Protein backbone atom coordinates (compact mmCIF):
# COMPACT_ATOMS: atom_id res chain seq x y z
CA UNK A 1 0.00 0.00 0.00
CA UNK A 2 1.29 3.45 -0.86
CA UNK A 3 2.46 5.90 1.78
CA UNK A 4 0.00 8.56 2.99
CA UNK A 5 -0.20 11.84 1.12
CA UNK A 6 1.95 14.79 2.08
CA UNK A 7 0.48 17.49 4.31
CA UNK A 8 1.47 20.96 3.08
CA UNK A 9 1.90 23.79 5.54
CA UNK A 10 -1.14 26.03 6.00
CA UNK A 11 -1.61 29.54 7.41
CA UNK A 12 -2.39 29.80 11.13
CA UNK A 13 -5.92 28.61 11.85
CA UNK A 14 -7.34 27.72 15.24
CA UNK A 15 -8.48 24.34 14.00
CA UNK A 16 -4.88 23.45 13.20
CA UNK A 17 -4.37 22.87 16.91
CA UNK A 18 -7.64 21.09 17.69
CA UNK A 19 -5.79 17.78 18.02
CA UNK A 20 -2.10 17.55 18.89
CA UNK A 21 0.22 14.86 20.22
CA UNK A 22 2.58 15.91 22.99
CA UNK A 23 6.36 15.92 22.70
CA UNK A 24 7.49 12.97 24.82
CA UNK A 25 11.12 12.14 25.52
CA UNK A 26 12.22 8.70 24.28
CA UNK A 27 8.81 8.18 22.67
CA UNK A 28 7.85 10.64 19.93
CA UNK A 29 10.75 9.94 17.61
CA UNK A 30 10.34 9.91 13.82
CA UNK A 31 9.10 6.31 13.74
CA UNK A 32 6.44 7.02 16.34
CA UNK A 33 5.32 10.16 14.52
CA UNK A 34 4.97 8.33 11.21
CA UNK A 35 2.80 5.72 12.92
CA UNK A 36 0.67 8.40 14.57
CA UNK A 37 0.20 10.14 11.24
CA UNK A 38 -1.37 6.97 9.81
CA UNK A 39 -3.84 6.98 12.69
CA UNK A 40 -4.63 10.67 12.41
CA UNK A 41 -4.19 12.62 9.16
CA UNK A 42 -4.93 15.95 10.88
CA UNK A 43 -3.17 15.82 14.26
CA UNK A 44 -0.28 18.21 14.80
CA UNK A 45 2.72 16.12 15.85
CA UNK A 46 5.67 17.18 18.00
CA UNK A 47 9.23 15.93 18.21
CA UNK A 48 10.94 14.91 21.40
CA UNK A 49 12.58 17.92 23.01
CA UNK A 50 15.89 18.77 21.34
CA UNK A 51 18.24 21.12 23.16
CA UNK A 52 19.45 24.18 21.31
CA UNK A 53 22.97 23.35 22.49
CA UNK A 54 22.85 19.93 20.82
CA UNK A 55 21.96 21.54 17.50
CA UNK A 56 24.15 24.62 17.61
CA UNK A 57 27.21 23.55 19.57
CA UNK A 58 26.95 19.81 19.05
CA UNK A 59 26.04 20.11 15.37
CA UNK A 60 23.75 17.11 15.78
CA UNK A 61 21.57 17.99 12.81
CA UNK A 62 20.63 14.31 12.49
CA UNK A 63 18.19 15.07 15.33
CA UNK A 64 16.09 17.00 12.80
CA UNK A 65 15.49 14.04 10.51
CA UNK A 66 11.83 13.42 9.73
CA UNK A 67 9.56 12.18 6.97
CA UNK A 68 7.58 14.46 4.67
CA UNK A 69 4.52 12.40 5.62
CA UNK A 70 4.71 13.67 9.21
CA UNK A 71 3.46 17.19 8.41
CA UNK A 72 2.11 19.16 10.16
CA UNK A 73 4.97 18.56 12.57
CA UNK A 74 6.62 20.81 15.14
CA UNK A 75 10.14 20.83 16.53
CA UNK A 76 10.30 21.32 20.29
CA UNK A 77 13.43 23.07 21.53
CA UNK A 78 14.84 23.35 25.03
CA UNK A 79 17.11 26.21 25.97
CA UNK A 80 17.31 29.64 27.55
CA UNK A 81 19.89 31.53 25.50
CA UNK A 82 18.07 33.71 22.94
CA UNK A 83 20.83 33.84 20.33
CA UNK A 84 21.43 30.10 20.48
CA UNK A 85 17.70 29.35 20.32
CA UNK A 86 17.38 31.61 17.29
CA UNK A 87 20.06 29.63 15.45
CA UNK A 88 18.47 26.32 16.48
CA UNK A 89 15.04 27.55 15.36
CA UNK A 90 16.50 28.50 11.99
CA UNK A 91 17.94 24.99 11.64
CA UNK A 92 14.49 23.60 12.38
CA UNK A 93 12.73 25.86 9.92
CA UNK A 94 15.30 25.12 7.22
CA UNK A 95 14.74 21.40 7.86
CA UNK A 96 11.06 21.94 7.05
CA UNK A 97 9.32 21.94 10.43
CA UNK A 98 5.97 23.74 10.48
CA UNK A 99 6.35 25.14 13.99
CA UNK A 100 9.05 25.70 16.58
CA UNK A 101 7.91 25.11 20.17
CA UNK A 102 9.81 26.24 23.25
CA UNK A 103 9.74 23.92 26.25
CA UNK A 104 8.82 25.79 29.42
CA UNK A 105 7.24 22.81 31.14
CA UNK A 106 9.68 19.94 31.66
CA UNK A 107 10.59 19.52 35.38
CA UNK A 108 13.50 17.06 35.22
CA UNK A 109 16.73 17.73 37.13
CA UNK A 110 18.77 17.59 33.92
CA UNK A 111 16.60 20.25 32.35
CA UNK A 112 16.76 22.48 35.42
CA UNK A 113 20.55 22.24 35.51
CA UNK A 114 20.56 23.58 31.96
CA UNK A 115 18.25 26.45 32.98
CA UNK A 116 15.38 25.52 30.75
CA UNK A 117 12.07 23.75 31.01
CA UNK A 118 9.61 24.51 33.83
CA UNK A 119 12.08 26.56 35.87
CA UNK A 120 11.81 29.25 33.16
CA UNK A 121 8.27 30.02 34.29
CA UNK A 122 9.97 32.02 37.05
CA UNK A 123 11.64 34.16 34.37
CA UNK A 124 8.91 35.24 31.92
CA UNK A 125 10.97 38.18 30.65
CA UNK A 126 13.77 35.81 29.61
CA UNK A 127 11.26 33.51 27.91
CA UNK A 128 9.90 36.53 26.07
CA UNK A 129 13.40 37.43 24.88
CA UNK A 130 13.90 33.85 23.68
CA UNK A 131 10.61 33.84 21.79
CA UNK A 132 11.30 37.19 20.17
CA UNK A 133 14.75 36.07 19.02
CA UNK A 134 13.29 32.90 17.54
CA UNK A 135 10.43 34.76 15.83
CA UNK A 136 12.91 37.19 14.31
CA UNK A 137 14.89 34.26 12.93
CA UNK A 138 12.12 32.20 11.28
CA UNK A 139 8.86 32.62 9.38
CA UNK A 140 7.10 29.60 10.89
CA UNK A 141 5.03 29.74 14.07
CA UNK A 142 6.95 29.98 17.35
CA UNK A 143 4.87 28.59 20.21
CA UNK A 144 5.37 27.89 23.92
CA UNK A 145 4.45 24.88 26.06
CA UNK A 146 4.22 25.65 29.77
CA UNK A 147 2.64 24.61 33.09
CA UNK A 148 -0.01 26.46 35.09
CA UNK A 149 2.58 27.16 37.78
CA UNK A 150 5.82 26.07 39.38
CA UNK A 151 6.59 25.31 43.03
CA UNK A 152 5.07 28.00 45.24
CA UNK A 153 4.58 30.32 42.28
CA UNK A 154 1.08 29.01 41.93
CA UNK A 155 -1.35 31.93 41.79
CA UNK A 156 -3.41 32.57 38.71
CA UNK A 157 -1.87 36.04 38.60
CA UNK A 158 1.52 34.45 37.91
CA UNK A 159 0.16 32.50 34.93
CA UNK A 160 -1.64 35.63 33.78
CA UNK A 161 1.58 37.64 33.87
CA UNK A 162 3.47 34.90 32.06
CA UNK A 163 0.80 34.84 29.34
CA UNK A 164 0.80 38.62 28.96
CA UNK A 165 4.57 38.49 28.52
CA UNK A 166 4.23 35.78 25.86
CA UNK A 167 1.66 37.83 23.96
CA UNK A 168 3.98 40.82 24.13
CA UNK A 169 6.72 38.71 22.56
CA UNK A 170 4.40 37.73 19.71
CA UNK A 171 3.22 34.29 20.82
CA UNK A 172 -0.08 33.31 19.17
CA UNK A 173 -0.30 29.72 20.46
CA UNK A 174 0.18 28.61 24.07
CA UNK A 175 0.07 24.94 25.08
CA UNK A 176 -0.72 24.64 28.78
CA UNK A 177 -0.19 21.50 30.85
CA UNK A 178 -2.93 21.91 33.45
CA UNK A 179 -0.71 20.88 36.38
CA UNK A 180 1.91 22.91 38.17
CA UNK A 181 5.44 21.51 38.40
CA UNK A 182 7.33 20.77 41.61
CA UNK A 183 11.01 21.22 40.81
CA UNK A 184 12.16 19.67 44.07
CA UNK A 185 10.95 16.42 45.60
CA UNK A 186 9.05 14.95 42.65
CA UNK A 187 10.38 12.94 39.72
CA UNK A 188 9.27 13.82 36.17
CA UNK A 189 6.89 10.85 36.31
CA UNK A 190 5.42 12.05 39.61
CA UNK A 191 5.09 15.55 38.16
CA UNK A 192 2.80 14.07 35.51
CA UNK A 193 0.58 12.43 38.13
CA UNK A 194 0.71 13.98 41.62
CA UNK A 195 0.07 17.72 41.19
CA UNK A 196 -3.70 18.04 40.72
CA UNK A 197 -5.15 18.95 37.37
CA UNK A 198 -6.77 22.39 37.19
CA UNK A 199 -8.55 22.61 33.88
CA UNK A 200 -10.61 25.58 35.05
CA UNK A 201 -7.48 27.71 35.27
CA UNK A 202 -6.72 27.01 31.61
CA UNK A 203 -10.34 27.74 30.66
CA UNK A 204 -10.10 31.06 32.47
CA UNK A 205 -6.91 31.88 30.60
CA UNK A 206 -8.72 31.37 27.31
CA UNK A 207 -11.64 33.55 28.40
CA UNK A 208 -9.33 36.37 29.44
CA UNK A 209 -7.08 36.12 26.37
CA UNK A 210 -9.53 35.25 23.56
CA UNK A 211 -7.04 36.28 20.88
CA UNK A 212 -4.64 33.54 22.01
CA UNK A 213 -4.89 29.99 20.69
CA UNK A 214 -4.94 27.93 23.89
CA UNK A 215 -4.22 24.19 23.76
CA UNK A 216 -4.89 22.16 26.91
CA UNK A 217 -2.76 19.19 28.00
CA UNK A 218 -2.78 16.77 30.91
CA UNK A 219 -4.77 13.67 31.83
CA UNK A 220 -6.88 13.60 28.66
CA UNK A 221 -7.61 10.04 27.53
CA UNK A 222 -11.00 9.78 25.75
CA UNK A 223 -12.95 11.18 22.83
CA UNK A 224 -15.56 12.51 25.24
CA UNK A 225 -12.96 14.44 27.23
CA UNK A 226 -11.55 15.92 24.03
CA UNK A 227 -15.01 17.07 22.99
CA UNK A 228 -15.67 18.64 26.41
CA UNK A 229 -12.37 20.53 26.44
CA UNK A 230 -12.91 21.86 22.92
CA UNK A 231 -16.03 23.60 24.16
CA UNK A 232 -13.72 25.74 26.32
CA UNK A 233 -10.37 26.01 24.50
CA UNK A 234 -9.01 25.85 20.97
CA UNK A 235 -7.11 22.59 21.07
CA UNK A 236 -6.32 19.44 23.00
CA UNK A 237 -2.92 17.80 23.37
CA UNK A 238 -2.87 14.07 24.06
CA UNK A 239 0.22 12.68 25.75
CA UNK A 240 0.60 9.26 27.33
CA UNK A 241 -2.85 8.16 26.13
CA UNK A 242 -1.77 8.60 22.52
CA UNK A 243 1.28 6.45 23.15
CA UNK A 244 -0.12 3.66 25.32
CA UNK A 245 -3.46 3.47 23.44
CA UNK A 246 -2.62 4.97 20.03
CA UNK A 247 -5.90 3.90 18.44
CA UNK A 248 -7.51 6.72 20.45
CA UNK A 249 -6.01 9.06 17.83
CA UNK A 250 -8.11 7.39 15.13
CA UNK A 251 -11.21 7.67 17.30
CA UNK A 252 -10.65 11.38 17.94
CA UNK A 253 -9.88 11.93 14.25
CA UNK A 254 -13.21 10.37 13.33
CA UNK A 255 -15.03 12.52 15.89
CA UNK A 256 -13.44 15.84 14.94
CA UNK A 257 -12.89 15.51 11.22
CA UNK A 258 -15.33 12.82 10.09
CA UNK A 259 -12.55 10.56 8.85
CA UNK A 260 -13.56 6.90 8.42
CA UNK A 261 -12.32 4.81 11.34
CA UNK A 262 -9.60 2.50 9.97
CA UNK A 263 -9.14 -1.00 11.30
CA UNK A 264 -6.01 -1.62 13.30
CA UNK A 265 -4.98 -4.19 10.68
CA UNK A 266 -5.29 -1.58 7.94
CA UNK A 267 -3.09 0.82 9.89
CA UNK A 268 -0.37 -1.81 10.21
CA UNK A 269 -0.62 -2.74 6.54
CA UNK A 270 -0.25 0.92 5.60
CA UNK A 271 2.89 1.00 7.72
CA UNK A 272 4.49 -1.80 5.70
CA UNK A 273 6.22 0.37 3.02
CA UNK A 274 7.76 2.52 5.73
CA UNK A 275 8.99 -0.48 7.72
CA UNK A 276 10.49 -2.14 4.67
CA UNK A 277 12.21 1.08 3.58
CA UNK A 278 13.65 1.58 7.07
CA UNK A 279 14.86 -2.03 7.28
CA UNK A 280 16.56 -1.57 3.92
CA UNK A 281 18.49 1.42 5.25
CA UNK A 282 19.65 -0.55 8.29
CA UNK A 283 17.09 0.37 10.94
CA UNK A 284 16.35 -2.45 13.37
CA UNK A 285 12.68 -3.44 13.53
CA UNK A 286 12.66 -3.05 17.32
CA UNK A 287 13.15 0.70 16.97
CA UNK A 288 9.85 0.92 15.08
CA UNK A 289 7.82 -1.89 16.64
CA UNK A 290 8.21 -0.58 20.20
CA UNK A 291 5.80 2.22 19.29
CA UNK A 292 3.14 -0.22 18.08
CA UNK A 293 2.76 -2.27 21.25
CA UNK A 294 -0.35 -0.48 22.49
CA UNK A 295 -2.30 -0.61 19.23
CA UNK A 296 -4.64 -3.36 20.47
CA UNK A 297 -4.97 -1.94 23.99
CA UNK A 298 -8.22 -3.22 25.50
CA UNK A 299 -8.85 -5.71 22.71
CA UNK A 300 -8.88 -9.54 23.00
CA UNK A 301 -5.38 -10.89 22.45
CA UNK A 302 -3.66 -7.56 23.15
CA UNK A 303 -1.21 -9.18 25.54
CA UNK A 304 -0.23 -11.81 22.98
CA UNK A 305 0.23 -9.11 20.34
CA UNK A 306 2.58 -7.16 22.59
CA UNK A 307 4.54 -10.24 23.58
CA UNK A 308 4.95 -11.57 20.05
CA UNK A 309 6.05 -8.20 18.76
CA UNK A 310 8.36 -7.19 21.61
CA UNK A 311 10.10 -10.57 21.80
CA UNK A 312 10.31 -11.21 18.07
CA UNK A 313 11.63 -7.77 17.17
CA UNK A 314 14.77 -8.45 19.24
CA UNK A 315 15.78 -11.38 17.02
CA UNK A 316 18.30 -10.99 14.19
CA UNK A 317 16.64 -10.54 10.82
CA UNK A 318 13.23 -9.60 12.23
CA UNK A 319 11.11 -8.01 9.54
CA UNK A 320 7.64 -7.65 8.08
CA UNK A 321 6.69 -11.36 8.54
CA UNK A 322 6.74 -10.76 12.29
CA UNK A 323 4.16 -7.99 11.83
CA UNK A 324 1.98 -10.31 9.75
CA UNK A 325 2.04 -12.82 12.58
CA UNK A 326 1.27 -10.11 15.12
CA UNK A 327 -1.62 -8.77 13.05
CA UNK A 328 -3.27 -12.18 13.27
CA UNK A 329 -2.59 -12.55 16.99
CA UNK A 330 -5.35 -10.24 18.32
CA UNK A 331 -8.01 -12.29 16.57
CA UNK A 332 -7.19 -15.05 19.03
CA UNK A 333 -8.88 -14.54 22.40
CA UNK A 334 -6.56 -13.73 25.30
Supply the DSSP string of 311-325, one letter for each residue.
HHTTSTT--HHHHHH
Judgement on whether residues 69 and 191 belong to the same structural domain of the protein: yes
Sign of CA pseudo-dihedral 279, 73, 10, 224: positive
pLDDT at 7: 33
Quote the pTM value: 0.91
Judgement on whether residues 297 and 164 belong to the same structural domain of the protein: no
DSSP class per residue in 29-76: SHHHHHHHHHH-SSPEEEPPPEEHHHHHTS--GGGG---GGG-SEEEE
pLDDT at 109: 64
Residue 317 belongs to domain with CATH number: 1.20.120.1460
**Where is the domain boundary, 257, 284, 317?**
257
**Where is the domain boundary, 210, 228, 257?**
257
Sign of CA pseudo-dihedral 182, 186, 242, 11: positive
**Residue 24 is labelled as binding a ligand:** yes
* Catalytic residue IDs: 106
Judgement on whether residues 194 and 243 belong to the same structural domain of the protein: yes
pLDDT at 77: 97
178 in any annotated domain: yes
Judgement on whether residues 247 and 226 belong to the same structural domain of the protein: yes
Number of domains in the chain: 2
pLDDT at 327: 80
Nearest to 247 by CA among 177, 299, 288: 299
Judgement on whether residues 95 and 75 belong to the same structural domain of the protein: yes
Judgement on whether residues 170 and 223 belong to the same structural domain of the protein: yes
327 in any annotated domain: yes
Judgement on whether residues 40 and 171 belong to the same structural domain of the protein: yes
**Residue 237 is labelled as binding a ligand:** no
Q: Contact at 8 Å (CB) between 329 and 301?
A: yes
Residue 51 belongs to domain with CATH number: 3.20.20.70
CA–CA dist 264, 248 (Å, integer):
11
Q: Contact at 8 Å (CB) between 159 and 205?
A: yes
pLDDT at 226: 98
9 in any annotated domain: no
**Residue 218 is labelled as binding a ligand:** yes
**Residue 58 is labelled as binding a ligand:** no
**Where is the domain boundary, 257, 280, 315?**
257
22 in any annotated domain: yes
90 in any annotated domain: yes
Cβ atoms within 10 Å of 11's Cβ, excluding its own: 6
**Residue 161 is labelled as binding a ligand:** no
Judgement on whether residues 271 and 247 belong to the same structural domain of the protein: no
Judgement on whether residues 174 and 290 belong to the same structural domain of the protein: no
Judgement on whether residues 26 and 118 belong to the same structural domain of the protein: yes
User: Which of 58-67's residues contact partners 24+ apart within 8 Å by CB, and which partners?
Assistant: 61/91, 61/95, 64/91, 64/92, 64/95, 64/97, 65/30, 66/30, 66/33, 66/95, 66/96, 66/97, 67/30, 67/33, 67/34, 67/274
Pairing, β 213-217 against β 50-51: unpaired
104 in any annotated domain: yes
Judgement on whether residues 130 and 25 belong to the same structural domain of the protein: yes
Q: Contact at 8 Å (CB) between 304 and 326?
A: no
**Residue 219 is labelled as binding a ligand:** yes
**Residue 78 is labelled as binding a ligand:** no
Pairing, β 141-147 against β 73-78: unpaired
6 in any annotated domain: no
8 in any annotated domain: no
pLDDT tens track of the chain, all 334 residues? 333 333 334 444 556 899 999 999 999 999 999 999 999 999 999 999 999 999 999 888 899 999 999 999 999 999 999 999 999 999 999 999 999 999 998 887 665 556 778 889 999 999 999 999 999 999 999 999 999 999 888 899 999 999 999 999 999 999 999 999 888 777 777 777 778 999 999 999 999 999 999 999 999 999 999 999 999 999 999 999 999 999 999 999 999 999 899 999 999 999 999 999 999 999 999 999 999 999 999 999 899 999 999 999 999 999 999 999 988 765 554 4
Burial-class residue 17 by CB neighbours within 10 Å (0-12, 13-18, 19+).
Answer: buried
Where in the sequence is the domain holding 320, given as residue range(s)? 264-331
Judgement on whether residues 184 and 319 belong to the same structural domain of the protein: no
pLDDT at 251: 98
Amino acid sequence: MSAPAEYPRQPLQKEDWRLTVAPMMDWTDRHCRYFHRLLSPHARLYTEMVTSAALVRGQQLRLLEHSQQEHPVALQLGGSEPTELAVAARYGADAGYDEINLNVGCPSDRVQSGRFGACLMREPALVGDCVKAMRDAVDVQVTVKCRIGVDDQDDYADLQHFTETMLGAGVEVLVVHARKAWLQGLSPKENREIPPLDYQRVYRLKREFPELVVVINGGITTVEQVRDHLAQVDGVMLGRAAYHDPYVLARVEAELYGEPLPTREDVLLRLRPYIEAELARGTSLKHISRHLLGLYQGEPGARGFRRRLSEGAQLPGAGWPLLEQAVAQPRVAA
